[in-house]
Amino acid sequence: MPIEDDGRVRAAVSEVLDAHRRAGHLFDVDGVGSFVREEGDGEPVVLLHGVPSSSFLYRKVLPLLSAEGLRGVAFDFPGLGFADRPEDYDYSWSGLARFTGEAIDALGIERCHLVVHDIGGPIGFEWAIRNPDRVASLTALNTLVDVGSFHRPWNMHPFSIRGVGELWLRSLNPWAMRQLLYLQTIADRSATPPAEIYAYYHLLKREDGGRAFLRIMRSFELTTKKERFFRDGLAALDCPRQVVWGDRDPALKTERRHAVQEFLDVSDPILLPAKHFLQEDQAPAVVGAIAALAKRGA
């Protein structure tokens, strides 16, 4: 039965979305509205998401960081989650890196432990390189850095093609999104019930049907110039860093992890039995690694 025809499923999804909304608050970033969830006291840990996700991805991570005496902070990039979706916004990685800095300033954070995931990697890396004194530690979760040779995985590539992307997005119904996320992103399906998977769908599409998401997908800076910027800048970044990786990720495989390790000069990654969304079924292990590194970077 389609989700649209099942009142119980719709009610469960609505409850998940309402709980997520109540757990955070809206804030303004230079005229662009965004949404943030914060939990805990102590040193701030800024958690950057990628696509097709939002701050919702970190809902299991935040209370565990709080229990470690840290302040977890996860906000939505423009075009995703509960953030605004302006048509004329700069959705490139550089544009979202500028947004990241403005959001961190708006939230009153002077220095933080930075956690990046998916395209939150290149976005967060750029902010860190331009603000090295504000980074206490850096944790890279399944992300990318060798952008000069990167190719979008098969399930994301159609979104980057004009015309095809619009058709692909319209065909992406809640059931299809559920199958895709279970296949690609979550190793232990019992960790994320269907209502929470469907929440990802609604947070992606919302009122614009996902058009801002398409702009993000078409604004990847896949150039050798950007890759050299990351290589040189991360080599000069003076803070503790680590790589925590879901080693069953079908999209970002071993060669991507090796590149991240090389750029961050990390020889001993923490490998977890997870796919792309390791925050879903490996949250305690992820938080344990973040907290341990934060103690070194305090």
Dihedral pair phi/psi, residue 36, rounded to 5°: -135, 145
- Nearest alpha-carbon partner for 85 in 252, 213, 191, 192: 213
pLDDT at position 180, please?
86
Query: Residue 1 has what pLDDT?
Result: 39
With beta carbons less than 8 A apart as the criterion, state whether 174 and 198 touch.
Answer: yes
pTM: 0.95
pLDDT (tens digit, 9 = 90+) per residue, 93-119?
999 999 999 999 999 999 999 999 999
Q: What CATH number does the domain containing 282 carry?
A: 3.40.50.1820
pLDDT beneath 70, residues of the chain: 1-5, 297
**Which residues constitute the domain of residue 256?**
3-297
Question: For residues 51 and 153, what is the distance between their CA atoms, to the nearest angstrom?
Answer: 12
Beta-carbon contacts of 228 under 8 Å, excluding residues fewer than 6 positions away, are none
> How many folded domains does the chain comprise?
1
The predicted-structure confidence for 118-148, as pLDDT tens digits, reads as follows 999 999 999 999 999 999 999 999 999 999 9
